[in-house]
Chains A and B, each alone.
Chain A
Amino acid sequence: MKQTKTFSRLPAIFSASLLAMPAAHAVDVDVSGFIRQEMAYSISNDQNPMNRGSAVVTGTLPNSTGGPDFVKQDFDYDNDWNMMATRAEVNVSIGISENVKAFVKVRGFYSADVFNDVSIESGAKDVNQFKVDHHGQCASIFEVCDDDFMIDLASAYVDYSEGNLWVRAGIQQIAWGEAIFFRVMDVPNGLDLRRHTFLDLASEEYADERIASPAIRISYNLNSQWEIETFAQMFQPSVLPQTGTAYSVINSPFTVRNDIGFDKVDNKINAGVRLVGQLGDLGLQFMATSRHNPDPIFKWQAGAQTALDPSFAGLGYGDFSSQPFRATAADGAISAPGTGTLGGVDWMTVAHLAGVDGVEAVNVLAREFDFIGGFLAGELGLPGPDYATSIADGRLVLDAFSSAIGDMEASIVPIYASENVFGFGANYIFYSEPDSWLDQLVVRFEMTYTPDKKFTNNFSRDFIEEDEWVTGLVLEKYRRFSDDFPATFLVFQWMHKSESDLSGRHLRFLGGDASKAPSGGEESGGWDAVSFAVQQALPGLIWRLDMNVLYDLNGSYLIQPGVRYKPNRRWTIEGFASFLDSKDNAGALQPLAWADEVTMRLTYQF
Chain B
Amino acid sequence: MPIHIKKYDVDYSRRFFLEKMTKGIMGAGVLSPLWPLIGETADITKAYPEELLSIDAFTQGKLKDGDILDSSNVEIVKDLLDPVTYLQVSQQGRRIKLVPTTTDVTQLFPHDFLKASLSNQGKAELDLNGNVVVKGSDNQWIGGAPFVDPKNGLEAFANITLSWGRHDTSIFAIDDYDIGPSGNVEYQYQMAWCEKNFTALVSNPSGPYLEGFDNKLRHQAIWFTAPDDTRGTSFLNIWKYDQREFPDLFGYLPAFKRVRRFPTNQRFEPLVPGITFFLSDAWASGDPMLTWGKHKIVGRGPFLGCQSGMWQGDKENWSKEHLVHGGKKGKTFYETNYQLCPEVIVVEAEPTGFPRAPVSKKRIWLDARNMAPIAYVTYDRKGEIWRSFEIGFSQQKQGNNANLDAKGNPEWSWSYVHSHDIQGDRLTRFNQVEKIKGGVKTQFNSEKAYEKYLTVQAIRKLGS
Q: Measuring CB to CB, which residues of chain A are less than 8 angstroms from any residue of chain B?
A: 28, 30, 32-34, 89, 91, 93, 95, 98, 101, 103, 105, 155, 159, 161, 163-164, 166, 168, 173, 175-178, 180, 203-205, 207, 210, 219, 221, 223-224, 227, 229, 276, 278, 283, 427, 429, 431, 434-435, 439-442, 444, 476-480, 483-484, 486-487, 537, 539-542, 566-569, 572, 603, 605-606
CB-CB under 8 A for A161 and B461, given A276-B456, A487-B266: yes
On chain B, the residues within 8 Å of A33 by CB distance are 228
Chain B residues with CB under 8 A of A98: 448
Comparing B108-116, B324-332, B350-358, the segment that makes contact with chain A is: B350-358
Taken together as a complex, chains A and B put the C-alpha atoms of A163 and B276 apart, in Å, by 35
Contact, CB under 8 Å: B461 / A159: yes
Given the interface pairs A540-B270, A568-B186, the reply to whether A221 lies near B261 with Cβ below 8 Å is no
Q: Which 9 A-B pairs have the closest CB atoms?
A: A95-B439, A435-B355, A175-B257, A480-B356, A440-B263, A541-B273, A32-B228, A175-B258, A478-B266
A548 vs B120: C-alpha distance in the bound complex, in angstroms? 56
- Contact between B457 and A227, CB atoms less than 8 A apart: yes
| B452 neighbours in A (Cβ, 8 Å) | 161
Question: In the bound complex, do residue A605 and residue B228 qualify as a contact, i.e. CB atoms below 8 Å apart?
Answer: yes
* A442 touching B263 in the complex, CB below 8 Å, given contacts A32-B228, A175-B256, A177-B258: yes
Say yes or no: is B122 at the interface (Cβ < 8 Å to chain A). Answer: no
Q: Write out the residue numbers on chain B whose beta carbons fall within 8 Å of the beta carbon of A176.
A: 258
Instruction: Report B247 CB to chain A, min CB distance, Å.
Output: 11
Chain B residue numbers with a CB within 8 Å of A168 are 461
Say yes or no: is B274 at the interface (Cβ < 8 Å to chain A). yes
Interface string of B398-431 (1 = CB under 8 A from A): 0000000000000000000000000010100000
- B438 touches A (CB below 8 Å): yes
What residues of chain B lie closer than 8 Å to A429, measured between beta carbons? 261, 263-264
14 contacts between A and B (CB under 8 A): A91-B228, A205-B257, A221-B457, A223-B212, A227-B455, A229-B457, A427-B261, A435-B356, A483-B358, A540-B270, A540-B273, A540-B426, A568-B187, A568-B274
Q: A-contacting residues of B (Cβ < 8 Å)?
A: 184, 186-189, 212-213, 226-229, 231, 246, 248, 254-258, 260-266, 269-270, 272-276, 353-358, 380-381, 424, 426, 437-439, 448, 451-452, 455-458, 460-461, 464
State A537–B270 Cα separation when bound (angstroms).
Answer: 10
Contact B261 A178 (CB under 8 A): yes
Asked if A227 meets B187 with Cβ closer than 8 Å, knowing A91-B228, A540-B424, A541-B273, the reply is no
* CB <8 Å contact, A155 and B255: no
Closest CB of chain B to A484's CB: distance in Å? 8
Contacts of B437 in A (CB 8 A): 30, 32, 93
Q: Are the CB atoms of B461 and A487 closer together than 8 Å?
A: no
CA gap between A89 and B227 in the complex, in Å: 13
- Please state if A101 and B187 are interface contacts (CB–CB under 8 Å): no
B464 touches A606 (CB 8 A): no
Assembly CA distance A434 to B261 (angstroms) = 19
A543 CB to closest chain B CB (Å) equals 9
Measured between beta carbons, the chain B residues less than 8 angstroms from A439 are 265
Contacts of B276 on A, CB cut-off 8 Å? 540
B228 touches A95 (CB 8 A): no
A28, A542, A568 interface centre (most CB from chain B within 10 Å): A568
A247 to chain B, nearest CB (A): 21
A210 neighbours in B (Cβ, 8 Å): 257
Do B257 and A203 touch (CB < 8 A)?
no
Known: A159-B461, A434-B354, A480-B356. A32 touches B451 (CB 8 A): no
A478-B263 in contact given A205-B256, A542-B274 (Cβ < 8 Å): yes
A427: chain B residues at CB < 8 Å are 261
Cα distance, A375 to B206, chains bound together (Å): 87
Residues of B within 8 Å of A476, CB to CB, are 263
- Residues of B near A480 (CB, < 8 A) are 266, 356-358
For residue B391, give the distance in angstroms from its CB to the closest CB of chain A: 22
Tell me the complex Cα distance, A439–B456, Å: 24
Would you call B270 and A219 a contact (CB within 8 A)? no
Task: Establish whether residues A569 and B186, one from each chain, have CB atoms under 8 Å apart when the complex forms.
Answer: yes
* Neighbouring A residues of B231 by C-beta, 8 Å: 32, 91
Q: Chain B residues with Cβ under 8 A from A478's Cβ?
A: 263, 265-266
The residue of chain A having its C-beta at the shortest distance from the C-beta of B441 within the complex is A98
A166, B457: Cβ atoms under 8 Å?
yes
> In the bound complex, how far is the Cα of B354 from the Cα of A486, in angstroms?
14
- A440 contacts B265, CB within 8 Å? yes
Contact B264 A440 (CB under 8 A): yes
Which residues of B sit under 8 angstroms from A207, Cβ to Cβ? 254-257
Q: Which of A175, A180, A540, A603 has the most CB of B within 10 A?
A: A540
Q: Which of A98, A175, A434 has the most CB of B within 10 A?
A: A434
Question: Which among A98, A166, A173 has the greatest number of chain B C-beta atoms within 10 A?
Answer: A166
What residues of A have a CB within 8 angstroms of the CB of B258 in the complex? 175-178
Contacts of B438 in A (CB 8 A): 30, 93, 95
A227-B229 in contact (CB<8A): no
Give the distance to chain B from A299, nearest Cβ to Cβ, in Å: 33
Q: A478-B263, A480-B358, A568-B186 are in contact. Are A541 and B272 (CB under 8 A)?
A: yes
Docked pose: A283 CA to B236 CA in angstroms? 15
Q: How far is the CA of A432 from the CA of B464 in the complex (A)?
A: 36
Verify B264–A566 contact, CB threshold 8 A.
no
- A486-B229 in contact (CB<8A): no
| A161-B452, A539-B424, A568-B187 as given contacts; A155 in contact with B257, CB under 8 Å | no
